[in-house]
Amino acid sequence: MRILNYEISRHGISRIREAFKGTVDVAGGRTKPGRFYIGEHTWKSRCSKFEKMYQQYPMLKQGILTLAGIVMSEGAYTSPAVNKSDETYPLAEEAQWRVDKLNKQYRVNSMFYNTVNIMGKFGSCFWEKTSTPEFGFRIIPNQESIEPAFYNDIGEVTEWRQVIWGTEHAKWSADQIVHYAWNVSSNSWPYGTPLLIGLDVETEALLGLEESAKDFMEKEAWPYEILSLGDAVNQINPADYNTAKGAWKNRQPGQGITARNIPISLLKGGTGDTPLRELSDLMALMKDNIQDGLMVPPISKLYNSTEASAKVMTKHVMTVLGQPIQWLLKENYEEQLLKPYMEQIGFSVKSTPEIIFESPDVHKQEEGEFWVGLVASKIQTPQQACEHLGLEYDEEFWSKEEEKLLQQQQDANKPQEGEPSESKPQSGVTYEVHVKPDRDR
């Protein structure tokens, strides 16, 4: 028997020791439940920084959108719950139909895609759910304005709020928020860690170098010229200078200018002949660093890659990033959204369907070819193959096929003209064997 923090048994009264004792350093190391001041734990400046990087440098956008596309390329599907006999039952099929309808209504595939995109940029994505007047959910606008409001004694956020320009506009309890947080660390708590973390130095340097390279190319493509009139000995008066200056400025392309009794020299301006090889190597190095940090290979840039190598790289991304993100989406969506939805509409949580990120028909062709081989080798019957593949078994068709096969065997066993009938055993003939008893017994 348990009363408060004590366990009463026939051996006496003992104090219950809590299993979890660790805490998060919040609000200056305090471990008692409390509240956060407005702006105490905010990620607005971080979101603004990474959003700017995402918008300015196309490689970052390409990597994150590629990751989101790989994660959601096949879409999210549902699989009905099973009972103890590993068989679906009518209640589970009805629950699956309800969830499929809910997913279609709220465009869950698009929400998952946008969630992966937001997590890639910021590290977290917040959904809000409601049951009034009916069950629903959405991605919260102004993600960068969401911050924790209250926490418990082990550092768990129990209440969130949305603060815009120092004013609290919305507040949610923890069970009203679905927090998709990727790779939470001590530096990022209570938010996740974005994929862009650590890439700001390379990104800013590349932006600066590319801008400088742009200026360099403009000066080299359109070098300026300097017209020098006169010198220290032969000086021209202001009227002649202004006349020559106007003529030079208004001349047509390819048209020259003439002068008399004064020395003239034409000087070429520009940036000179500074080599760009070192700059190019440096930019390539930083781009490689960005690509390694994103962990998404630039398949679109590998023009010599084959289909096989592209599949291997895609599989690598799914192994190190895609599947863990799918688990994150699946677990949060099932536990925090689907199960409460099942309870609200009168179903048991045991009937909650499972979210899978693979089309049910994705392996049908390979599986079909496998079973065709089994049937051709007479290891399995057509009926067994149809039952396994979920196909309708045409009994009348296969009965006719068996009759044709039997007839072909009988025709093949018939003796040829002029050949003794004993040369081939007759199909369908039954032989009776009698054993002679031993007289000595």
Strand order in the sheet with 177-181: 136-139, 124-130, 177-181
pTM value is: 0.68
79, part of any domain? yes
Q: What is the pLDDT of residue 436?
A: 59
Q: Say how many domains are in the chain.
A: 3
430, part of any domain? no
Q: Does 320 share its domain with 288? A: no
Q: What is the pLDDT of residue 104?
A: 95
Alpha carbon separation from 316 to 179, 303, 321 (Å, rounded): 26, 19, 8
Q: What is the pLDDT of residue 356?
A: 92
Q: What is the pLDDT of residue 352?
A: 93
7, part of any domain? no
Residue spans of the chain under pLDDT 70: 1-12, 15-32, 216-225, 253-254, 257, 259-262, 264, 266-279, 299-305, 307, 361-366, 389-390, 415-441
21, part of any domain? no
Q: Does 231 share its domain with 277? A: yes
Q: Does 98 share its domain with 202? A: yes
Alpha carbon separation from 21 to 32, 41, 153, 424, 429 (Å, rounded): 12, 23, 9, 85, 82
Q: Does 89 share its domain with 116? A: yes
Picking from 362, 394, 413, the residue at the C-terminal end of a domain is: 362
Alpha carbon separation from 324 to 64, 73, 106, 319 (Å, rounded): 15, 15, 23, 8
Q: Does 282 share its domain with 310? A: no
Distance CA 405, CA 397 (A): 13
Q: Does 107 share its domain with 153? A: yes
Q: What is the pLDDT of residue 7?
A: 67
Domain that holds residue 320: 32-210+302-362
Alpha carbon separation from 436 to 433, 439, 441 (Å, rounded): 10, 9, 12
Picking from 273, 294, 315, the residue at the C-terminal end of a domain is: 294
Distance CA 387, CA 378 (A): 16
Picking from 362, 381, 402, the residue at the C-terminal end of a domain is: 362
**What does the pLDDT look like over 339-373, one tens digit per residue?**
999 999 999 899 999 999 987 765 566 677 777 78
Q: Does 100 share its domain with 200? A: yes
**What does the pLDDT look like over 268-327, one tens digit per residue?**
655 555 555 666 777 777 777 777 777 787 766 665 667 677 777 778 888 888 899 999
Q: Does 281 share its domain with 242? A: yes
Q: What is the pLDDT of residue 189?
A: 87
6, part of any domain? no
Percent of the chain at pLDDT above 90?
A: 29
Q: Does 46 share its domain with 184? A: yes
Q: Does 290 share its domain with 312? A: no
**If you write DSSP's letter for every residue of 297-312 in order, what string do you get?**
--GGG-TT--HHHHHH
Q: Does 417 share its domain with 307? A: no
215, part of any domain? no
Q: What is the pLDDT of residue 60?
A: 86
Q: Does 171 share its domain with 204? A: yes
